[in-house]
Structure 1
Amino acid sequence: MSADDRRAQILDAVTPAVLEHGAAVTSRQLADAAGVAEGTLFKAFGDKESLLAALVERHMTDAEPDLDLRADSVADVVASLVPVVVERMRFMFRLVMALGPIAQRVAAERRDDFERSKRCIAARFEPFAHDLRVTPLVAADVLRTLAWAAAASWGDDEPVSSVDDIMQVLLHGIVAAPGDEPRAGADPERRPDASALEPVEA
């Protein structure tokens, strides 16, 4: 096994311990999680903070969604992408919350990787650009923004937005069409007429 492969193996092995203990995780806990001696960790990474930074970098540079996409429509693209991106965003949110300034510093340094992930998602939309009201890059940006909102929960104990909610908004917007069944929590008596929401020509 090469040195890089060994480092990657250690980072994958210690990830659950880091998510549990955050930046306060000890070198002993990291070594136990990796099944190696503490000296092996120091030899591979130098010190604990360097190891934690390398862990964040490893996860942040995994830019392209890992899926086998066979899409015949925009709906297929959205249905395939959203669950994967939301799950990834939830993981990254946990990592940022666990490691605080270390994760934020690495994220700032790896901004290009984050932008590349957006371009990877946009490429999934490209074959269906003629069916979109926005460019594929804007579609990718909106998808990631909604996924991050669902992952972060914005301080709520449970996410307000579900995967299905995100798919509905991406494909149909937030305005119900005439005849749609009210969704949970909706007040059908207060639903505006769809025609009232149509743009008015000057």
Structure 2
Amino acid sequence: MSKTTVSEKAGRASPLSVEDRQDMILDAITPLLLEHGQAVTTRQIAECAGIAEGTIFRAFGTKEELINAAVERRLDPEPFRAGLREVDLDMPLEERIRTIVALLQERFTLVFNLMMALGRRGGPPPQEERREFGEIMARALAPDLERLSVSPERAAQVIRMVTLAASVPHLNDAEISTDEITSIILYGIAGRPAETTISVSTDSPTN
């Protein structure tokens, strides 16, 4: 009987931890949930993740627990907050706003599509969470205070509201691009306020 050499042992991959196995499965399930919703099967998930079907039940217990974990992961605001904090303050204002819009659009679109596919309804983020998002975005806009017609906090609120409205699938007949949203936020639909001419009479009022 042949003996396993030290080099052969060293070449074997270490078994995955429970956390690593769960992460691998969660990475695989999101696109399947978007396509199949609640009807996705554990067999489809296993094939996508490249694992045995039984591994799913050892990692999560039931399919429902797995789906709930996937939703919770996508709703976690921390990766989004981290992306906002990484916005380069040395970029031009236009590019900073575009980066923020892209981050918001990606998050809103994924969450809406996922909840719709699963037939679930979700409420707005807690007020404290929205306030924190606004503060982070306001810091990203602060270097250009002289160019803003509103406070950075108000600008952050407008950016969030416009991007949210543009990202809700059933409210829009056609996809609105990141560049379009950014342009609307920066310049509106007219580009600048219309100039008005006020005629001032120099005649004395008639008594």
TM-score by length of 2: 0.70
**Does residue 165 in structure 1 map to residue 180 in structure 2?**
yes
Other structure's SS at 1:195 match: coil
AA paired with 1:9? M
Q: Distance in 1 between matches of 2:59 and 2:107?
A: 27
8 Å Cα contact 1:63-1:114 kept in structure 2:
no
Aligned to 2:165: 149
Q: Specify the structure having the higher radius of gyration (Cα).
A: 2
- Number of paired residues? 177
Query: How far is the alpha carbon of 1:152 from its aligned partner?
Result: 1.6
8 Å Cα contact 2:89-2:143 kept in structure 1:
no
Q: Distance in 2 between matches of 1:44 and 1:136?
A: 45
8 Å Cα contact 2:165-2:171 kept in structure 1:
no
Q: Distance in 2 between matches of 1:136 and 1:70?
A: 14
Q: Distance in 2 between matches of 1:96 and 1:37?
A: 27
RMSD: 2.9
Query: How far is the alpha carbon of 1:130 from its aligned partner?
Result: 4.8
Query: How far is the alpha carbon of 1:94 from its aligned partner?
Result: 1.4
Gaps of 5+ in 1: 179-192, 197-202
Identity %: 36
The 3 A distance-change label for structure 1 pair 35 and 85 is same
**Does residue 80 in structure 1 map to residue 99 in structure 2?**
yes
Aligned to 1:133: 149
AA paired with 2:159? L
AA paired with 1:40? T
Where in structure 2 are the equivalents of 1:1-202 lying within 5 Å? 1-61=16-76, 62-64=79-81, 65=83, 69-101=88-120, 104=122, 111=126, 116-159=132-175, 161-177=176-192, 194-195=195-196
TM-score by length of 1: 0.71
AA paired with 1:12? D
Q: Distance in 2 between matches of 1:135 and 1:125?
A: 9
The 3 A distance-change label for structure 1 pair 4 and 131 is farther
Other structure's SS at 2:36 match: helix
